[in-house]
């Protein structure tokens, strides 16, 4: 079996032109763009805020305790603010969870619209509720697992390294531990990104095709990945290259449109041909392995693979 890359991308491009341009319908663009925007709402959502320690209070790796009275006053103020900070953290966590849930539900809406060449929100939202909820739970579990691994690495590598750095004799060892920790985190990030790519590109279409839970869809897909890993690795590298091209194209478009394309939802509608083609590309690529993977044909109940 010869696995192609240009051919499925070409088919995805042709399907996109049929969906969006034959004929052109502005209302369809707006609704389809809304579903695409919702589907990508949680992708890449991350943020952090770090406050540096003032050099006045941290000199040569040792805290300055000369202002003990001021320090105690600051601690008392911090205790007062702790409940509000805790509430704020809970509110942010709730918002992020809602975004993740909404995005998980919308991924099936967008896929359903693209497959059937239509633009609907309410009907597929209700019909594919269970699929979206299953995807949400899997994504949440995966994020928690990755977060715990990162936390464990920080404890095992970076915390001892920071402690060793206070000793000149062990300074080199601390730097080595930090470098190792960075390399491990990079490897973990690459692996997590690859899993996310497989989930988005292949597992979600399998869930949609056969109405499986996320875990069942992974169980159906993994034997193909184990048997022929290189086509999927090359697919990931191709997406990476295309992603760099998209970033460059987005930057140029952003300049030419005075950053209008960077406005949420508006930019998704403007760049809708790219998002539709990307969504179609993975399902066209997946169909090469087995006709049963083709989401454009009626579903046949999958058999367990070993």
Q: Is residue 57 part of a domain?
A: no
Q: Is residue 46 part of a domain?
A: no
What single string gives the DSSP state of each residue in 229-250?
A: HHHHHHHHHHHHHHHHHHHHHH
- Is there a contact between 276 and 16 (Cβ–Cβ < 8 Å)? yes
User: What total of structural domains would you count in the chain?
Assistant: 1
Q: Is residue 45 part of a domain?
A: no
Q: Cα angle at 216 between 191 and 93, to 5 degrees?
A: 60
Q: Is residue 178 part of a domain?
A: yes
Q: Is residue 300 part of a domain?
A: no
Q: Is residue 62 part of a domain?
A: no
At 155 the pLDDT is: 80
Structural domain harbouring 88: 6-40+71-293
How many Å apart are CA 156 and CA 81, to the nearest integer? 31
Q: Is residue 55 part of a domain?
A: no
At 83 the pLDDT is: 79
| pLDDT averaged per 10 residues in sequence order, the chain, 306 residues | 89 95 93 95 52 41 48 60 83 94 96 94 95 97 94 77 54 67 89 95 95 95 92 95 94 90 92 96 90 72 50
- The backbone torsions φ and ψ at residue 2, rounded to the nearest 5 degrees and listed phi first, read -95, 120
CA torsion sign, 118 to 221 to 244 to 10? negative
- b/e for 266-305, b at 16 or more Cβ within 10 A? ebbbbbbebbbbbbbbbbbbbbbbeebbbbeeeeeebeee
Q: Is residue 79 part of a domain?
A: yes
């Amino acid at each position: 079996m010869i696995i192609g890359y240009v051919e499925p991308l070409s088919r995805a491009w042709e399907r996109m032109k049929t969906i969006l341009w034959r004929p052109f319908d502005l209302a369809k663009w707006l609704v389809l763009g809304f579903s695409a925007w919702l589907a990508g709402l949680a992708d890449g959502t991350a943020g952090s805020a770090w406050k540096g320690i003032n050099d006045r209070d941290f000199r040569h790796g040792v805290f300055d305790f000369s202002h003990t009275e001021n320090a105690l006053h600051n601690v008392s103020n911090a205790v007062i603010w702790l409940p509000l900070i805790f509430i704020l953290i809970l509110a942010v966590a709730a918002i992020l969870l809602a975004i993740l849930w909404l995005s998980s539900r919308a991924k099936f809406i967008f896929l359903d619209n693209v497959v059937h060449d239509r633009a609907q929100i309410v009907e597929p939202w209700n019909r594919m509720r269970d699929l979206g909820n299953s995807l949400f739970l899997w994504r949440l579990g995966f994020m928690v697992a990755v977060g715990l691994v990162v936390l464990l690495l920080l404890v095992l590598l970076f915390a001892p390294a920071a402690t060793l750095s206070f000793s000149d004799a062990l300074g080199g060892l601390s730097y080595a531990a930090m470098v190792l920790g960075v390399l491990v985190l990079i490897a973990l990030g690459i692996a997590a990104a690859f899993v996310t790519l497989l989930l988005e590109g292949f597992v979600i279409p399998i869930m949609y095709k056969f109405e499986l839970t996320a875990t069942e869809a992974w169980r159906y897909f993994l034997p193909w990945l184990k048997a022929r890993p290189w086509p999927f690795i090359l697919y990931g590298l191709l997406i990476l290259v295309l992603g760099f091209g998209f970033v460059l194209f987005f930057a140029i478009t952003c300049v030419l449109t005075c950053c209008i394309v960077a406005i949420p939802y508006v930019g998704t509608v403007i760049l809708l041909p790219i998002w539709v083609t990307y969504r179609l590309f993975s399902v066209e690529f997946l169909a090469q392995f087995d006709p049963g993977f083709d989401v454009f044909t009626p579903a046949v109940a999958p058999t367990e693979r070993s």
